[in-house]
Structure 1
């Protein structure tokens, strides 16, 4: 697998994170806020993918003396949640953000390139979702032609390339009307919250913004009974924590 290199041992690799545009660019135009918020959303997806890639090789399989069916089940569920989060993110883009931007800009096809890029990795995501749902714990494999790593390798370059590239597209839109851009974005956030879920809250960069109480509600309602959360690289309040599986050593929930 060819990936972006990272010198850190946590989840800033193997795929590199995107630098927030507002760190270097100063502007009151809403295009910059949109690009920066989308960067946060994409970095959530990238960090969670990195968490899967870093921990997957260390999940003991059925031939390993340290094998535990619950560990595998929880990991498969974490992967499923990540896939569904990616699906939801792109559904909001395709169903609302991209069409609305076409309308208010007066430029039909403005977002065709990022929309078409979704097609490049859709099949791979669907395969990974199917694997995570249908694989029995004792049949789980990371390596090999039938393993999870092979499925992820089939689409991860296209996915991350899209996540990087879409930010670059947004940064070219400073000529659009700032207020109309803002209205479209706020509507998209509302739609995302109404149709979304609380699958993963990764590293303090949740998109769209949740009400202040939501991380606490999610923590006490779900985390204590869901072992899959231990694979997340951050706790529910966005604080980084050690990965649960490295070098075949599991941490406590």
Structure 2
């Protein structure tokens, strides 16, 4: 059975409202590549890349595309763990799943910290507007960062329980992810909108000042991208990241543009140490969607301790109904 939904969240239009999309390319991809569902594009929906609805030639839109791809990778990881957690029972499998949850949580936390401590200040320096990205917008008194404490809970729970897998209770992990994902999803959407808004922060389109800022913005992004690559925990982040990218998304993409030789290095040298954890991820080493291995066999009830987990398959509809009501500031107000 194909995945039950292949929608993405659109960031098109001036209002920044969330709206489900069902591109034909996504439907054909899921139906042809995944034998049974659900898959990692649910229950929390993925983000449409802004370049599909905005002029892709501006560096700010390139940066926004990168942000969308990065957050989509994060949510493929969250969705994959969420969908499989109720059906993992053996101690070795539990340990592997929790190691993945810990790595994913640490990666998300590091990304967020770097964004606010290094990336946004660099961009603000280009615009000569301190606080333009790190401070609240005129329509928002304070950005909701409540997901950070839940992220810390995930990291701590995964580390502590991995050491004692017999204590694993899937309903606890599911509950943490349920608390984390909606806030992180709204936050991710806001960051994509901020990136789109950097087009207007560059200045009057076509003016020499705006062109100069756009060039400076691109140079800043390149330097920050190289800095992040050098600082990454490669033995853990790269084997995870390559399997969280979907090179068939939106009809095909090459994010994050890894040379073939680099993929072979990740596969042959970096992946074996924690191969048990990477098997929970939704894509092959080449970024091709594959079945999630720990879904419920026919007729088998998920493991749970005193709590029903039937809501796992139905959460998508409630997530969509709430996410569609989110409205982010228009780019010009950022």
After TM superposition, the score normalised by the length of structure 2 is 0.65
Structure 1: gaps (5+ residues): 1-5, 61-67
Deviation at 1:26, TM superposition (A): 2.3
Are 1:237 and 2:298 counterparts? no
Cα distance change of structure 1 residues 114 and 242 upon mapping to structure 2, 3 Å threshold: farther
**Aligned counterparts of 2:105 and 2:144: Cα–Cα separation in 1:** 13
Q: Say whether the 8 Å CA contact 1:193–1:208 is kept in structure 2.
A: no
Deviation at 1:158, TM superposition (A): 0.8
Is the counterpart of residue 137 in structure 1 residue 165 in structure 2? yes
**3-state SS, counterpart of residue 241 of structure 1:** coil
Against the structure 1 CA distance between its residues 121 and 132, is the aligned structure 2 distance closer, same or farther, given a 3 Å change threshold? same
Alignment of 1:1-253 (within 5 A): 7-8=5-6, 9-60=38-89, 68-113=90-135, 117=143, 119-135=145-161, 136-143=164-171, 147-175=172-200, 176=202, 177-198=213-234, 199=237, 200=240, 201=242, 202-204=244-246, 209-225=257-273, 226-247=275-296
Structure of greater Rg: 2
Which stretch shows the higher mean deviation, 16-25 or 221-230?
221-230
Please, what TM-score do these two structures have when normalized by structure 1? 0.85
The answer to whether the Cα contact below 8 Å between 1:231 and 1:243 also exists between their aligned partners in 2 is yes
- Alignment coverage as a number of residue pairs: 234
Is the Cα–Cα contact under 8 Å of residues 100 and 184 in structure 1 kept in the other structure? yes
What RMSD over aligned residues (CA atoms) do the two structures have, in Å?
2.2
Contact kept, 8 Å, 1:41 with 1:207, in 2: the verdict is no
Q: 1:39/1:220 Cα in 2 relative to 1: closer, same or farther (>3 Å)?
A: same
Change over 3 Å in CA distance of 1:211–1:110 after alignment to 2: farther
Q: Which whole-Å CA distance do the structure 2 matches of 1:243 and 1:23 have between them?
A: 29
How far the C-alpha of 1:191 sits from its partner, in A, is 1.1
For residue 172 of structure 1, report the CA deviation from its aligned partner. Answer: 1.6
In the aligned structure 2, how far is the partner of 1:204 from the partner of 1:184?
A: 27
**Where does the alignment leave 5 or more consecutive residues of structure 2 unmatched?**
7-37, 203-212, 248-253, 299-334
CA deviation vs aligned residue, 1:78-100 (integer Å, no higher than 9, x gap): 11111111122223212211111
CA distance in 2, matches of 1:117, 1:185: 23
User: SS of the residue aligned with 1:154?
Assistant: helix
Report the CA distance between 1:227 and its aligned residue. Answer: 0.5
